Chain A
Amino acid sequence: MGVRRSLRAVLGGLVVSAGLIGPAAQANPINGGVEAPTPDVFSNYYHPANRAGAYPGVGAQLYVSPRPVPARVGHTWVTYPPFMPHEFLYQHKRRYIRCSGATGMRTDVRAYWW
């Protein structure tokens, strides 16, 4: 009887922890109420190289780094995206929402640029 009760308790604990961990594993940031993929700290912004009439086309990138390099090459990245300089070009606000682990809680950050 005692074994069966402890087994039931363990199973119940497994179900509860799966329910808490499951949503946290799929946590996505929400930008303006729309879920978006997690921002990549290794990424940059580009303009494609389109030909200017008969003249050749040259591409452009917003930041000097990071460049699209192989994984074995050293990288430079921005650890805090709200401080990226292009965010200060215009007045706007954004909401960053992250699930904080298996506790079921979440971190809600409201960022304002003005």
Chain B
Amino acid sequence: MLTSKFILCGRILMAAIVVVSVMEAVQAGGHHATEKRYFLRGRNKSWHSGWYNPAAGRPVPLVVPPTAEFVSEYSWGVPSSRVMPLYPQYRKPFPGPGYVPGERRLMPTPDQPSDTVQFGIHAIRGPWGTY
């Protein structure tokens, strides 16, 4: 009787180990891996494009939840839409200068826009926490 209980406990323990290892393998880093990938790929990328919003005089950031992963952009012609990874995210600390000059000047929204990017409003993910 004691032996059968011992065997039962052993089997339960083995099953728990198998379940935990399978869950870890399925997750494979999961949330943290995605965050790291997004951070590394978005490090030196700009959050805006070559167009600015004429009403604001500069590109306008649109705050979206940090859980957002992709952004949709629409345009005339083919392709008429594209889904882009949303790398930029607000962080600390203060990164330094707020303007870096380029070879060309930012363009205002044309009179007949052909792409949503030309409106100069771009999404930036909000920060994860208070730190």
Contacts and interface: CB of A to CB of B under 8 A. Distances in A.
B90 A62 contact: yes
Given A36-B131, A50-B44, A55 B102 contact: yes
Interface string B92-131: 1111111111111110000000000000000010110111
Contacts of A39: 130-131
A16 interface: no
Contacts of A68: 94
Contacts of B50: 52-55
A78 B90 CA distance: 17
B61 interface: yes
A90 B66 contact: yes
A74 interface: no
A90 B67 contact: yes
B89 to A, nearest CB: 7
Contacts of A53: 46, 50, 102
A90 B66 CA distance: 7
Chain B interface category by residue count = 35 or more
B49 A49 contact: no
B100 A56 contact: yes
A54 B104 contact: yes
A48 B59 CA distance: 13
A14 interface: no
A47 B91 contact: yes
24 contacts: A31-B130, A44-B92, A44-B94, A45-B90, A45-B91, A46-B90, A46-B93, A47-B89, A50-B44, A51-B46, A51-B100, A52-B50, A55-B46, A55-B50, A57-B46, A57-B48, A58-B99, A60-B90, A62-B63, A62-B126, A81-B130, A89-B63, A89-B67, A94-B129
Interface of A: 31, 36-37, 39, 43-62, 68, 81-82, 84, 86-87, 89-90, 94
